[in-house]
Chains A and B, each alone.
Chain A
Amino acid sequence: MVETVISALYGGFLVSIEIFGLTLLGALPLGLVISFGSMSRIKPIAFLTRGFVWIVRGSPLMLQLLVIFYGPGLLFGWNLWGGSDSGRMVAALTAFILNYACYFSEIYRGGVEGIPQGQREAGQVLGMTRAQIFFRVTLLQLVKRILPPISNEVITLVKDTSLARVILVYELMWEGQRFIKSAGIIWPLFFTGVFYLVFTGLLTILFRRLEKRLDYFTV
């Protein structure tokens, strides 16, 4: 029994990890693009981007999953995703990446705007272009500044993967709950907590190491 449960939970855990990894892969760079948008000097772009960030940050991720997956079919009779497992996963990833990119974008913006104006002016005096100033002066300081808030979001993401169940992506929590429905066994649901705790524990250690590595300079 225990083995059956653990292997079922492990299968769900792999799905959770897949959502987690691919979301980070998409959301970290996309967040940077969005943060440039909301800091843009072209007013309409800044305005639209901030509106988008407001909508995404201002509504529950669960609702976004439902709208993205069921919305096209229900509203326009156009089933964008297909009903296969991979279709569900792609829809879930779309929602997760958009959502997390918006949160990351605000963290990036805070990081960029926290860097003293004087450094940028110094770069301009030396004749550097805007791109050069960003990549050679701002970026590394940015990374150091944003690491703690990013780690916060990353750990939240581990737990948010459980929301994918609303569009029937069978992640860890679903697999745990399945045993209640089919066999009336409750403990697997609570045992899922062990998987989450171990994984977030590993991430915590990883982020502490990263912070230490960046300790050689101060900002």
Chain B
Amino acid sequence: MKTIMKRIALLLVFAMAACIFAGCGNKDGVSDAAYVKDKGTLVVGITDFAPMDYLENGKWIGFDADMAEAFAASLGVKAEFVEIVWETKTMELNDKNIDCVWNGMTLTDAVKNAMETSNAYCNNAQVVVVKREVAAQYDSVDSIRDLRFVVEAGSAGAEELDALGIPYIEADSQADALMEVAAGTSDACVIDLLMAGAMIGEGTSYAELTYTVALNSEEYGVGFRKGSDLAAKLNEFFAAAYKDGSMLEIAEKYGVQASLIAQ
């Protein structure tokens, strides 16, 4: 038994050493952009997350997906979308299974340390959603204290209400919380700004709802391998696409124009 354990341990050590050497071997001076251009595809790591990346008729669309397609085209390569497990995104990136993480990724310190990140391109926030006819009365944090809130259990919105000491009831999802507000069984809910932009207001099933106060703010960015020159290239692309209006156009298509960050 012991010898088997020893052998396994030894194997693991060798495997780890091999990984480290292989990792070193990859840093052979070829830039990341050249590597991507050479193989002809930009592999984009995503999850199913409307309105950023989601499937429609077998094709990945969304604000992030469309921007990724455009960025790949500007490099002269094809974009290829791969669904990843969100927790292991950095590993996928370093193993070169994907070339970037482009999926409404909040730019936290952890993300910035592990990846070469682009400039922030989208604001996200936790926003308060109420019925349109009463929206004018609830435009500040103080004014919302007496509302009956519903939020997704364990969500960022719930955390913000906890911090403010505002009581709430919990629903299973952000979508369920929206239905509560629409039916008037709760006065307000707290959801992601980007989701609010896509799911409520004119032209949606929730035309009578609108969002008012933002309780916090966070920013989305795109992540590349540490040291990659693609991040700088994407920043240039963002600046150009923002200037010629194509970025805004795509943002409007998916209802995220309000949260777009000027490049």
Which A residues contact B (CB, under 8 angstroms)? Answer: 69-70, 72-74, 77, 79, 81-84, 87-88, 167-168, 178, 181-182
Give chain B's interface residue range (CB within 8 Å of chain A): 10 to 19
Decide: A73 and B154 in contact? CB cutoff 8 A: no
Decide: A81 and B154 in contact? CB cutoff 8 A: no
Q: List 24 A-B contacts (CB under 8 A).
A: A69-B185, A70-B180, A70-B185, A72-B183, A73-B183, A73-B185, A74-B179, A74-B182, A74-B183, A79-B184, A79-B185, A81-B185, A82-B185, A83-B148, A83-B169, A83-B186, A84-B148, A167-B185, A168-B169, A168-B170, A168-B171, A168-B180, A181-B153, A181-B154
Which one, B153, B169, B171, B182, contacts A73 given CB within 8 A? Answer: B182
Decide: B153 and A77 in contact? CB cutoff 8 A: no
Asked, given contacts A69-B185, A70-B185, whether A83 binds B180 with beta carbons under 8 Å apart, the answer is yes
CB nearest neighbor in A for B148: A83
Contacting residues, chain B, for A77 (C-beta < 8 A): 184
Q: Is the interface of A mostly helix, strand, loop or mixed?
A: helix
Decide: B183 and A70 in contact? CB cutoff 8 A: yes
Whether B160 sits at the interface, judged by CB under 8 Å, is no
Q: With the chains together, A218 CA to B153 CA distance in Å?
A: 55
CB nearest neighbor in B for A88: B185
Q: With the chains together, A70 CA to B183 CA distance in Å?
A: 5
CB nearest neighbor in A for B150: A168
Contacting residues, chain A, for B170 (C-beta < 8 A): 168, 178
Decide: A182 and B154 in contact? CB cutoff 8 A: yes
6 nearest interchain CB pairs? A73-B183, A79-B184, A181-B154, A70-B183, A83-B185, A73-B184
Whether B219 sits at the interface, judged by CB under 8 Å, is no
Q: With the chains together, A34 CA to B183 CA distance in Å?
A: 30
Q: How far is the CB of B255 from chain A (nearest CB, A)?
A: 22
Q: With the chains together, A79 CA to B169 CA distance in Å?
A: 17
Whether B187 sits at the interface, judged by CB under 8 Å, is yes
Q: How far is the CB of A46 from chain B (nearest CB, A)?
A: 35
Q: With the chains together, A82 CA to B180 CA distance in Å?
A: 11
Residue among B154, B180, B184, B186 with the most chain A CB within 10 A? B184
Q: With the chains together, A171 CA to B151 CA distance in Å?
A: 18
CB nearest neighbor in A for B205: A74
Contacting residues, chain B, for A167 (C-beta < 8 A): 185
Contacting residues, chain B, for A83 (C-beta < 8 A): 148, 150, 169, 180, 184-187
Contacting residues, chain A, for B171 (C-beta < 8 A): 168
Q: How far is the CB of B177 from chain A (nearest CB, A)?
A: 10
Q: With the chains together, A167 CA to B180 CA distance in Å?
A: 9
Q: Mark B122-160, 1 if CB is under 8 A from A, else 0.
A: 000000000000000000000000001010011000000
Contacting residues, chain B, for A69 (C-beta < 8 A): 183, 185
Contacting residues, chain A, for B183 (C-beta < 8 A): 69-70, 72-74, 79
Contacting residues, chain A, for B169 (C-beta < 8 A): 83, 168
CB nearest neighbor in B for A82: B185
Identify 11 new A-B residue pairs, CB closer than 8 A, beyond the known A88-B185, A181-B154, A182-B154: A72-B183, A73-B184, A73-B185, A77-B184, A79-B183, A79-B185, A83-B150, A83-B186, A87-B185, A178-B153, A182-B153
